[in-house]
A and B are shown apart, each in its own frame.
Chain A
Amino acid sequence: QLQLQESGPGLVKPSETLSLTCTVSGFSISSYNYLWAWIRQPPGKGLEWIGSVSYSGNTYYTPSLQSRVTISLDTSKNHVSLKLSSVTAADTAVYYCGRRTQDSSGYYYVDYWGRGTLVTVSS
């Protein structure tokens, strides 16, 4: 059964780099035609797309975060990683990882979500 679990520091200082890992179990992250995404949700607010990485390592980031974000795969550990640099209080959020599956028209939707991890940016 597919499970995703985010992990990483719950508190990050302003200007530092946020680093999170999504451990995937029950499914190989290098499986053909699946993508992996990071999404965040500030406390009490809506969902914001961060970016996505394909099974082959190709990435796409949302433009507003592109200069600060890196998403990568570690196939040896079956992990998906997120790094967000130069964080501010505005980056405080619950961070989710998710699996993207292709629909019949060839587009990728998120069908599985991790439990999420709260990251607070504060000194």
Chain B
Amino acid sequence: IVLTQSPGTLSLSPGERATLSCRASQILTSTYLAWYQQRPGQVPRLLIYGASRRATGIPDRFSGSGSGTDFTLAISRLEPEDFAVYYCQQYGSSPPTFGGGTKVEIK
């Protein structure tokens, strides 16, 4: 399954809302979609699994939604530490695959 993330880069200011898209080439028959954040020079961090479940310790400004082929990660109010690259991943169809990433940069 190919995951296409858009936009490639999102330029926003702190405090603004970010909306990231992840589109699958085939229908995901269940909500086996995760989102990861990777800050520069750091390890990917799990934000969302099951399309909409926040991982432990993740602030509630992060939310995931979607089903089928279209999924969204929303960040309600960008904090300085949120400027990073975000990857979606489907983990229910073998092999698991990642999207190409969306970079959220400071405008």
Interface on A for B, CB 8 Å cutoff?
Answer: 46-49, 51-52, 60-63, 96, 100, 103-105, 107-111, 113-116
Residue in A103, A108, A115 whose CB lies within 8 Å of B43:
A115
Interface on B for A, CB 8 Å cutoff?
Answer: 30-32, 34, 36, 43-46, 49-50, 53, 55, 87, 89, 91-92, 94-101
Complexed CA–CA distance, A115 and B41 (Å): 10
The A interface is mostly helix, strand or loop, or mixed, namely strand
From known contacts A47-B87, A49-B98, infer whether A111 and B43 are also in contact, taking CB-CB under 8 Å.
no
Give the distance to chain B from A76, nearest Cβ to Cβ, in Å.
Answer: 27
Residue in A60, A104, A109 whose CB lies within 8 Å of B95:
A60
The answer to whether B87 touches A109, judged by C-beta atoms less than 8 angstroms apart, is no
Residue in A closest to B94 when the chains form the complex, CB atoms? A60
CB neighbours (8 Å) of B100 from chain A are: 46
Complexed CA–CA distance, A112 and B95 (Å): 19
Complexed CA–CA distance, A111 and B95 (Å): 17
Given known contacts A47-B36, A47-B98, A60-B95, what 20 new A-B pairs fall within 8 Å (CB)?
A46-B87, A46-B100, A49-B96, A49-B98, A52-B96, A96-B44, A103-B32, A104-B50, A105-B30, A105-B31, A105-B32, A107-B91, A107-B92, A108-B91, A109-B34, A109-B91, A110-B46, A113-B45, A113-B46, A114-B43
Give the distance to chain A from B94, nearest Cβ to Cβ, in Å.
Answer: 6
The answer to whether A110 touches B98, judged by C-beta atoms less than 8 angstroms apart, is no
Residue in A closest to B95 when the chains form the complex, CB atoms? A62
From known contacts A47-B87, A113-B44, A115-B43, infer whether A107 and B98 are also in contact, taking CB-CB under 8 Å.
no
CB neighbours (8 Å) of B89 from chain A are: 47, 109-110
From known contacts A46-B98, A46-B100, A49-B97, infer whether A111 and B49 are also in contact, taking CB-CB under 8 Å.
yes
Residue in A46, A49, A103 whose CB lies within 8 Å of B101:
A46
What 7 A-B pairs come out closest when comparing CB atoms? A107-B32, A62-B95, A107-B92, A47-B98, A109-B49, A109-B34, A113-B43
